[in-house]
A and B are shown apart, each in its own frame.
Chain A
Amino acid sequence: MSQDTDTTPTTDTADLKRGPFESWVNRSISNPENVYQAMFYLVTGFFLVTTLFPFYWLVVLALTPNEQIVDMGLLPKGTNVGAFVEVFQAIPFHRFVINSLLIATATTIIVLVLASLAGYVFGRLDFPGKKPLMLVILAISYFPPAAFLLPLFSLFTGGKALYFQTSAITIGLQSPDLYNSPWPMVMPFSALFLPLSIFILTTFYGQIPDGLEDAARIEGTTRLGALARVIVPLSAPGIATAGVLTFITVYNEYFFSSLMTNGAWQNWAPIVEGILGYRGHHETPYNLMAAASIVGVLPVAILVVVAQEKIVSGLTSGALKE
C-alpha cells in the first residue's frame, strides 16, 4: 500500500490503476458493509471446515483398504466401499445400533410420559412444596453419573456385585437377570435425563391459556382427559423437542452404556461396545472403525437434519428460561 501511494495519486479517479486488493480496500472504507460481508464468509468458511473435517477424515479412512492405511494424505487411497459391508460382517454391528435405538426409544417414551405428568403439575397446578421439589429434581441432574454407578450396578446385578444386598430396596427388585438386559441403561437414563424434559414441558404446558382447559372440563372431561386431549396436542412442538433431545442424549451416552453390559450384542450392549469392539482385533481394522463410526452417526445426523428448528426452539423455551 505505502509503495503504491508514493507513485500514484490517491484520488478516487485513480481507482483503475490500483491492484484488485487496493480497490477492494478503497471500496470497503467507503462502504464497511463489504468488510462485514467478507469477514462473515471467512468466519463461516472456517467453522464449516473445522466442524466437517473430522467427518471427511472418517470417509477417507473408510474408503481406503486397511492395508493401505499408512502415511495417509488428505485423499483416500482407493474407493473401497466394501468396508461399509464388512462392518456388519466382522461383528454384528447392526445389532449394536438396533440395541441403542431401542434403548433410546424406550427411554424417550418413559421420559415423555413421566415428564408430561410432572410438567402438567409444575406448569398448571399450585400446591405446597412445588418450588423445593423442582429444585430437588434439578439438583439430581448435577450429580456425576459416577455417583450413581456403584449402587445401581449392585441393584441391577441383584446385589451380588456389591455390599448392598441387605438393602430393602435391593431385595425388592432383586433379579440378577436385570444385568445384561436393557433396564440397567433405560432406567438410569430415564431418571437422569428426566429433569430437562420436565423443564421443557413445564414451560410449554404453562403457556396454554386456562380457558382452553376449562372449556374441556365443562364439557365433562376429567383433568387427565383434558391433559391428553387439549394440552398435549397444543404442546406438540414442546413434546417433539423434549423427545428429540432425550433420544439423541441417550443414543450418545457413554458412561452407563459402556459399564452396564458385558459387551455382547445378545445382552443388549449398545453402540459404544460395537465401535470399541473393533479395537480388540488382532490387526487393528482402522477402515472398519471409520466405517462403523459413519454408520453409527447416521441415525442422529438424520434426526438433527429433520429436527434442527425444534432443537433450537426447545432449548430457547425450556432449558434457558427456567
Chain B
Amino acid sequence: MEGLSETQFAYLLLTPALLLLAVIALWPLLSTFRMSLFADNLTGSAQLGSFVGLQNYVELFTGQKSYALPAPFLPKLTGTFPYVTGWFTTALGATLVFTVVSVFFETIIGFGQALVLDQDFTGRRWVRVAIIIPWAVPVVIQGMIFYLLFQPNIGFLIGDAQQTILQQLGIFGKTPLANAGETMLIIIVADVWKTSAFMALLILAGLQSIDRNLYEVARVAGASKWQQFKLITLPLVLPTVLIAMLFRTIAAMRVYGIIDSVSSCQTVPSLSCMVVAGFSQRQIGTAATVAFVTAAIIGVAVSVYIAKFARSSVGGD
C-alpha cells in the first residue's frame, strides 16, 4: 500500500464511502429518474407501463395527471388554496406554504433562543438543555405530542362540549386535524417547536465564533447594547443564519414525518406524502416524477440561495 501514489491512496480510502453512495444514493436517483419516464401501469402484471419520455412531467405541470388515490384532502384543500386546481399544484402549494412560513418563524425564534443561550448566566447549562431538547425528539413523538394536544375533547386546547379560547377566536373548529387549513397551522407550530431548537444550535455555534474582543472595543468606544448587536453581532452571524435557513429550507421542502404522524398525510398533502401515496397505489411512474420534481425544486432553491448569498456564506470562510 505504501507503493501507491497519493492519488491512488486517496481513491483507495474513498472506495468504501463512494461504493455505498453509488449503490444506495446515486443508483436510486438515476433509477427514479428512469422510472419517471415510464407510464403508470395499473392493469397488467408489469409494474411500469410503456416508455413515455417527459410526458409525466408535462401532464403533472399542466394538471392533466389524474391520480387514482383515495385523496380525502382534495375537496377540503381547494377551499384552503382556491387559486390551485390539480392535486399536484395543491401538494406543491401546501409544501411551499409550509416551507416559507415555518422557516421564517424558526429563524426568528431560533435567533432569539441563540441570543439567550449565548449569554453567561447561572443555570445556563440547564436552560440550554431545555431549549435544545425539542430538536432531539424523534419525529414520531413530536407528531404524537401535537396529535394529542389537538385531539378534540381530551385537552384544554380543543373542546368538544364547550368551546375553548382557541375555538372562540375562530382559529380552530371542532376537529382541527380533519381540516386542511387547521392541520397546516398545527404542523407548522409543531415544526417550529422542534426545529427552532436546531436553528438555535446552528446560530449559537455562529455566535460563539465571534471574537469577544470586538465587544470590548465597542464598549470602550461607547456603543450601546443595541449598537453592538446591530454593528457586530448581526453582520458577523448573518452568514451562519443564511446557511441555517438553507439547511432548513431543504429539509422543509421534503417534509413528511410530522405530517404523516399528526394526520396520516390525509389532510395536508406534502410532495413527499404524494410520492408515498403514489408508490403505495403502484403508480410508479407518477410517484417517481413527483419525487424528481421535488428534488429539482430543492436543487433550484439551493442554487438560487448559493448564487444570491455566495459572497456572504459559501466560500466566505
Contact = CB atoms under 8 A, between A and B. Distances in A.
B122 to A, nearest CB: 12
Interface of A is mostly: helix
The winner among B20, B140, B160, B272 for most chain A CB atoms within 10 A is B140
B141 A296 contact: yes
Interface stretch (A11-19, A23-31, A79-87, A251-259): A251-259
A36 B28 CA distance: 54
Contacts of A102: none
Nearest to B147: A289
A311 B272 CA distance: 29
Interface in B156-195: 156, 159-161, 193
Interface string A181-197: 00000011011101000
Interface string A26-61: 000000100010001001100110111011011001
The winner among B26, B32, B197 for most chain A CB atoms within 10 A is B32
B12 to A, nearest CB: 9
Contact of A293 (B18, B48, B141): B141
Contact of A194 (B20, B130, B291): B20
Contacts of B268: none
Interface stretch (A1-9, A161-169, A231-239): A161-169
A150 B24 contact: no
A195 to B, nearest CB: 9
B161 to A, nearest CB: 7
Interface stretch (B67-75, B76-84, B214-222, B256-264): B256-264
The winner among B13, B206, B258, B302 for most chain A CB atoms within 10 A is B13
A191 B24 contact: yes
B317 A146 contact: no
Contact of A142 (B26, B127, B250, B275): B250
Contact of B25 (A32, A61, A173, A191): A191
A74 B276 contact: no
Nearest to A117: B13
B131 interface: yes
Contacts of A51: 130-131, 133-134, 193, 197
B28 A152 contact: yes
A215 interface: no
Contacts of A191: 20-21, 23-25
A222 interface: yes
Interface in B267-289: 271-272, 275-276, 279, 284, 287-288
Interface in A67-87: 69-74
Given A149-B291, A224-B1, A48 B139 contact: no
7 contacts: A61-B154, A115-B17, A164-B31, A194-B17, A223-B9, A253-B139, A321-B317
